[in-house]
Amino acid sequence: MNIYKKILEEKGKISALAPMEDVTDTVFRQVLCDIGKPDLFFTEFMSTDGFMSKGRDKVIHRLEFTDIERPVTFQLWGNNPDNYAQTVKDIVKYNPDGIDINIGCSVRSVLSHGHCSALIKEPELVEEIIKAVRSESQDVPVSVKTRLGYDEIITDEWFSFLLKRNLDLITVHGRISKDGYSTPANWEEIEKVVRLRNEISPNTVILGNGDVNSLNQADEYISKYDVDGVMVGRGILQNPWLFSRRENIGKDERIDVLKKHLKLFDKVSEDRKPFYSQRKYMKMYISNFDGASELRSELMKCNTVEEVLSIV
């Protein structure tokens, strides 16, 4: 039984943290294991072309994880089936709980090279990519994260196609690629995917994604739209404690978690990521208490972990 089915059997539903480039790295995921862990983590997306190039060392850190973060699914992107096959052959040795293909990202720089959600327009290539991943994935489950269409909603056509590819899981971000984030996620269309799944591929697990900001909202959407689970992205930026269901986290706890995060960043990240990449986490933790805004402004002026620690 694959990991997604196992979670469903144990818990009846799945809460997943979305893959988010430069946000959901191993340091942040380890902190979340302490303060509110989802049922399932995804890594940041890693380029299969980058992995197969001389620059492998610059991209491989995106797949770094520790055992406490399990279950963790590796997310890959690219549009060259051979590079997918070679990459998967190499990375299965790290024993991921799943391998996910990114057909959802809508950042202009990746679209212009025919990657990520631009692949929605290339179903034959998608079929080759899925076959390439499967050919080397051994018994690791294979999934796709995608949107409702590229420049128009094509739920029936696109998901009927994907559901015939025998995928273990599909995450449906309820927007089209051209929308970016400008319109609300369309959960009625996500529900249509569930109905298609019931007809075409009952074993494929479906996660809905888009604009969910709490576990209570996730529960409501799971019962209303019949998805197996919900993936939360930007909601975690507003509330890193989201997966704990706790509310009103006090100032001392927030500061302690920031300290823990930065110490771990210092230990794990070496020189791979610049210090300023940590400012977003300072904003996340240092909020919702009297004086948070003043403290945040002070921390934003810091240039090293030591400086932050001496202030807090």
Ligand X SMILES: Cc1cc2nc3c(=O)[nH]c(=O)nc-3n(C[C@H](O)[C@H](O)[C@H](O)COP(=O)(O)O)c2cc1C
- In angstroms, the Cα distances linking 179 to 151, 190, 271 are 8, 16, 36
Confirm or reject binding of residue 64 to ligand X (CB under 6 A).
Answer: no
Whether the CA torsion 109, 114, 115, 120 is positive or negative: it is positive
Confirm or reject binding of residue 257 to ligand X (CB under 6 A).
Answer: no
**Within 13 A of 209's CA, how many CA atoms are on the CB side?**
26
Confirm or reject binding of residue 73 to ligand X (CB under 6 A).
Answer: no
Nearer to ligand X, 44 or 228 (CB): 44
Instruction: Say whether 116 is catalytic.
Output: no
Helix residue ranges, H only, the chain: 3-11, 26-35, 48-51, 56-59, 81-91, 108-111, 123-136, 155-163, 187-200, 215-225, 235-238, 251-269, 279-285, 292-300, 305-311
Q: Which residue is nearest to ligand X (CB)?
A: 233
Confirm or reject binding of residue 212 to ligand X (CB under 6 A).
Answer: yes
Identity at 142, one-letter amino acid code: V
Other Cβ atoms less than 10 A from the Cβ of 297: the count is 10
Confirm or reject binding of residue 208 to ligand X (CB under 6 A).
Answer: no
Residues 168-207 that bind ligand X (CB under 6 A): 173
Confirm or reject binding of residue 75 to ligand X (CB under 6 A).
Answer: yes
Convert residues 92-131 into a mask of x (bound to ligand X by CB under 6 A) and - (unbound): ----------x-xx--------------------------
Interface pick for ligand X out of 71, 78, 96, 210 (rule CB under 6 A): 210
Strand, helix or coil for residue 74: strand
Q: Spot the catalytic one: 33, 105, 116, 302.
A: 105
Nearer to ligand X, 20 or 194 (CB): 20
Spatial separation of the C-alpha atoms in residues 133 and 306, rounded to whole Å: 43
Nearer to ligand X, 88 or 148 (CB): 148
Q: Is 40 exposed, middle or buried (0-12, 13-18, 19+ CB in 10 A)?
A: buried
Convert residues 20-39 into a mask of x (bound to ligand X by CB under 6 A) and - (unbound): xx-x----------------
Residues 222-251 that bind ligand X (CB under 6 A): 232-235
Nearer to ligand X, 75 or 177 (CB): 75
Nearer to ligand X, 173 or 197 (CB): 173
Confirm or reject binding of residue 76 to ligand X (CB under 6 A).
Answer: no
Spatial separation of the C-alpha atoms in residues 44 and 166, rounded to whole Å: 24
Write the DSSP symbol of residue 163.
Answer: H
Other Cβ atoms less than 10 A from the Cβ of 157: the count is 12
Spatial separation of the C-alpha atoms in residues 68 and 30, rounded to whole Å: 7
Shortest reach from residue 20's CB to ligand X, in Å: 4
Confirm or reject binding of residue 19 to ligand X (CB under 6 A).
Answer: yes
Shortest reach from residue 194's CB to ligand X, in Å: 18
- Of 256, 266, 264, 273, residue with least CA distance to 312: 256
Cite the active site residues: 105
Interface residues toward ligand X, by CB under 6 A: 18-21, 23, 44-45, 75, 102, 104-105, 145, 173, 209-212, 232-235
